[in-house]
Amino acid sequence: MLNELNNIVTFLNNYIWGIGMLVLVVGSGLYFTIRLHGFQFVHFKDMWSRIIDKQDSDSGISAFGSFCTTMAMRVGTGNVAGVAVAIYMGGPGALFWMILAGMTNSAVCFAECTLSVLYKTRIDGQYRGGGAYCAERGLGWKKYGAFMALILMIGTSVFMPAAATYTICDGFHNAIDIPMWVSALIIALILAVVVIGGVKRISAIASMIVPFMVTVYLIAAVVIIVMNITAVPALIKTVVTSAFAKNAVFGGTIGVIIQQGVKRGTFSSAAGMGEASPTAAAAETSHPVKQGMANAAGVWLDTVIICTASGLMILLTDCFNTAGGYVGSGSAELPALAAAGTNGVVFVQLACKTVMGKIAPTFIAIMLALFSFTCLISYYYEAETAAMYLFQGESKAKARKIVTWIMRIGMPVLIFIWGNLESDIAWNLSDLALGSCTWVNMLIVLLLSPKVIALYKDYEEQMKAKKDPYYNPNKLSWSGVDKEMWKDINKKYIENDK
């Protein structure tokens, strides 16, 4: 039965992740980069400064808390196992396209998060927003908004956790031989405790874990890179040349190389799929562009920095195989892995083992557990926000509570099931959810792009005037925007400008 399910999911993914997705993701990234005058380069410093704002309120979390919660979702399996899978399928050249996708995808993330903040509203005293809210409030597409919310709720609570859960269980199984089902059970129980506390607890835990795990992982990567520093120039040449032509050594056609780089870059950053939008909307901020900037910086940290670090560790130590027949020489275990077709996190574990020795597999397993677990708690928040949209209104208050508790119990149960899957089906299920969400979300983002451009122009004008940018609904007055909420948020700014 699982084989049949995997065949169906693979068939669907071949269409969802075909040439159309490549055009959509890369094209949208280039479109927003051009229309926003390369903001991710022009405002590079400003982009990072928006992360550190720790002002929150009863209705919203701080920009820093929102950033950490979003990074909890971004920095996960895609940064470690995803990079390894991309290199296995597409060779070293896939890393080039992954980095490029990260740079352009940051503009897409900026657009979707800016829109999410613009069209957010208060439900049960908490800020809620996302693609579904943008569809209804920005375009008047209420039915499409409900469809988007349903896709996001199912995708983030049912299918997308499959890869993250499998990766945690597989990491500990490889490192210290813990049975997969035991790890899955522990993850499920801890997740249940966290999500019962709601968005405030999720944000607090993410704010504690994310900075620590990112710092430790990058330090380990820097050590390995420095110890192999003499090989870096030759490797850069290999990555670039392999990105534009089929390599006789590593195999893989140019189409597969680009597809793998873009797919894993998109999976890692989640830019365009609407996954970061609800968390961005939860932030307390005076201008939508501020939070859009913070989230764009997150894509750089996730894909351009952390994914590159993982890729360099694997490639510099030659601890990888490819589907095209290449077998690395960095570890005596690689020939056996090639024969079995095994790939993924084990490549990173072997790379670290060249420097750390026997503790490397356990170290990576712990890092993966932190990366992937924070992914899971973020997935839950995205699903809960989608459910809040589907059951909004006073008449559905009771239904909201029931659905919320169903997810708080049901998602940990599914986590236990996903932890016992095979690698292929786990990743295929996650790819299916990601691809589906991306298609339905990007239509809304592109149709509302004039609003993004207008907000960015307003932000730049205020910056040039040496003002702290804020959104004034009396100046940029659009239907669907919760004007009273924004007047309340920026009451002091508006009064000072009178």
Q: Using the 8-state DSSP alphabet, how is residue 231 labeled? A: G
pLDDT, tens digit, for every residue of 345-396? 788 889 988 888 888 878 878 887 887 787 888 788 888 888 888 887 777 7
Centre a 10 Å sphere on the Cβ of residue 8 and count the other Cβ atoms it contains.
12
Strand partners, 61: 283
Q: In this predicted model, what pLDDT tens digit does every residue of 293-341 receive, in sequence order? A: 988 988 888 888 988 999 999 999 999 988 888 888 888 899 998 888 8
The yes/no answer on whether domain 2-460 falls in CATH 1.20.1740.10 is yes
Alpha helices in 75-141 (DSSP H): 77, 83-90, 93-118, 131-139
pLDDT at 344: 80
The arithmetic mean of pLDDT across residues 217-224, rounded, is 90
CB 90, CB 83: distance < 8 Å: no
Q: In whole angstroms, give the CA distance from residue 65 to residue 282.
A: 9
Tally Cβ neighbours within 10 Å of residue 485: 15
| Residue 269 CB-half CA count within 13 A | 38
pLDDT 10s digits, 228-254: 999 999 999 988 888 887 664 555 566
User: How high is the pLDDT of residue 248?
Assistant: 46
Between 264 and 39, name the one with better pLDDT: 39
For the record, the structure tokens of 304 come out as 């351009």
Match 């994310």 to its residue by tokens.
210
pLDDT-derived band at 33, boundaries 50, 70, 90: very high
DSSP state of 490: T
Bridge partners of 123? 126
**pTM attached to this predicted model:** 0.84
- The one-letter amino acid code at 110 reads F
Question: Residue written as tokens 């990888």?
Answer: 320
CA separation for the pair 62, 55 (Å, rounded): 5
Domain boundaries, the chain: 2-460
Q: What is the pLDDT of residues 141-183, one digit of tens each?
A: 999 999 988 988 888 888 888 878 887 888 788 778 888 889 8
